[in-house]
Structure 1
């Protein structure tokens, strides 16, 4: 476990150094787009560029997202290299600049799948895409007042996950393992990210039924292993033995937490996480993590790209679809020690083959706003 986590942290350091020298569709490469206007949707695009905009590939979750995008591209008879990668390294500014640059380069002949990095960045991305006549499907992050049906056909779809309920499930597993008493800390994602907000809320919901458990602290770790390691080390310095459980917003955060605990000689701290990455599932099987939640990123990445592409080429008309086909939840599966190895064999060691034209098959209903 320790070797894997140290290797993971080192890969992240290398990736950050490389990013400083990266220039793929950077800020200087984009001609400024004109003033945003009404949708310029064409009847259909011909051989559109297919692009995925995401944080980075060193994160196992995002590697699976992009692997799904590559699998979709291969299903079209293309090489996986035909997928254009827009890597933003967690920068919303770079995310938007990359989108504007590729729109200028392709003259809007684009099918884009994207996680906009944070919710406020979704609107300028969508507006730029719609103004150019391209097509976009978003994943995870957008504001509640931004909807695909407000942009005709160009904003094809948005998929997120109903994280609050599953995060509450994992929290209850954690709080029970703590014996219903003690102190818990939460390490979250980027503070403005929808999943980070919902996963913390899931913990807070569960805590209402555990009056003898105190939430000692909740701080963002930005979905990052290194930052999680630093945050957890600071928690241990500040709270020491008061900490009897850790609620992690994703698996890569849990890796940093485990390393911080190991450095202090702590091997049996109850921990839960989220995402269902292969390494985390193995840690669940080994009872180093109590539970994680699988969101099927391979399917999510492939179907998001597929929706944008098939709308772009005129395979279907988004504006004629019901709203539940334009904003919907992805699937989730709770993974615990008793079923971790079986789950790993069925979903991770051998990735299922998906029909990329079954756009909503595994989805989990329309997004509900509170």
Structure 2
């Protein structure tokens, strides 16, 4: 059965869907959606992310598509557009449509979303990998074997690192402003915690204000423009919890001729941020390699579905971990651009655990 390789839109009435979704585990969901019979054919590869307007998730999809092409399999991308209900509903609809004959690589829109997604996958026999967001009491080994892994990147250390780099670029003194992500998002919480920890170690640095930009460039642009009017020359640096917001802040600086005079930092390693590091407008960024993320989660699901390994027999460090990152500054930006930006290296998608960095700890 062929699928649209771009974006799946559930062609069902949402209220009717929600009313019937409780029956999904028993296989009684009837919505007029054609189901895929389980057969010898490979499962459908499914990705669920927030938005393709976000450069980070756009590269994630590129990696997912590349893996699917390499495997000769079909791939569908679902987008939440920041709506948790839509994200969960679209995943459940796809489970129903495929009769569970799929694997899922998902970045839940919000922390609580992970539980209903994982529960639905486990009931339907779908192998799933989650990223970034999940409740602290939800673990892959509680849903063996189908919940393969939960993967994050140490947001506390990344938030602290970019803050320290910002403070150095500021000369170790002065005021800065900070733009956070979605308040309930675990990555946003951890990165802010790291920034505040670095601030405590630098008594000559002052946090002038912190506001949430909800991971969005335009909101960061508006917030920064307001700050430039409010604080003027008191602003000596801008800390952003992700690069999309950081580049939004940079555009606000550019509009007032201040780019390169007030350093900006962010996280994700998107192309615009990396180029800003090279131009001297960003002090640094941190890449979690969304291209790799897009493919490796699908690879884990596919290999588990094919019986190549049993997730329940893997050590806990493979089930729930922080993956490695790359710190990008003026010292290594040229090499990074040469090897990573626009020319993604050949990845061994079967090397499932090569970027395990540390266990996830919950505070």
Fold match by TM threshold 0.5: yes
C-alpha spacing 1:305/1:45, structure 2 compared with 1 (3 Å): farther
Between the aligned partners of 2:184 and 2:12, the Cα distance in structure 1 is: 23
Counterpart of 2:222 (choices 226, 230, 234) is 230
| 1:317 maps onto 2:310 in alignment | yes
Is 1:25 matched up with 2:25? no
Task: Name 1:14's counterpart in structure 2.
Answer: none
Unaligned runs of 5+ in 2: 1-6, 27-37
Label 1:325 to 1:130 Cα distance change in 2 as closer, same or farther (>3 A). Answer: same
1:285/1:338 contact within 8 Å kept = no
The structure whose RCO (Cα within 8 Å, separation 6+) is larger is 1
Residues 99-114 of structure 1: pairs in structure 2 closer than 5 A: 99-114=91-106
Task: Indicate if the aligned counterparts of 2:25 and 2:124 stay in contact, CA closer than 8 A.
Answer: no
Give the corresponding residue for 2:3: none
Query: 1:210 maps to which residue?
Result: 202
Q: Are 1:273 and 2:266 an aligned pair?
A: yes
Q: Does 1:351 align with 2:339?
A: no
1:182 equivalent among 152, 171, 174? 174
Please state how far the C-alpha of 1:36 moved relative to its aligned partner: 7.5
Contact 2:8 2:77 in 1 (8 A): no
Q: CA deviation at 1:45?
A: 7.7
5 Å-filtered alignment, 1:70-85, equals 70-78=65-73, 82-85=74-77
Give 1:124's aligned residue.
Answer: 116
**Separation in 1 of the partners of 2:126 and 2:155?**
30
Deviation at 1:37, TM superposition (A): 6.4
In structure 1, how many angstroms separate the alpha carbons of the residues matched to 2:70 and 2:59?
16
Offset at 1:168?
1.0
TM-score by length of 2: 0.89
Are the equivalent residues in 2 in contact too, given 1:45–1:109 (CA < 8 A)? no
Counterpart position of 2:32? none
Kept in 2: contact 1:228–1:257 (CA 8 A): yes
Q: 2 CA distance for matches of 1:214 and 1:226? A: 25
Indicate the residue corresponding to 2:49 in structure 1.
54
Residue 249 (structure 1) aligns with: 241
Secondary structure of 2:331 counterpart: helix
> Which position in structure 2 is the counterpart of 1:330?
323
Distance 2:39 2:282 in 1: 48
RMSD: 2.0
Shift of 1:323: 0.7
Tell me the TM-score normalized by structure 1: 0.87
Alpha-carbon shift at residue 46 of structure 1 (Å): 4.7
Checking the alignment, whether the CA contact within 8 Å between 1:44 and 1:314 is kept in structure 2 is no
Structure 1 segments of 4 or more deviating over 3 A?
34-38, 43-46
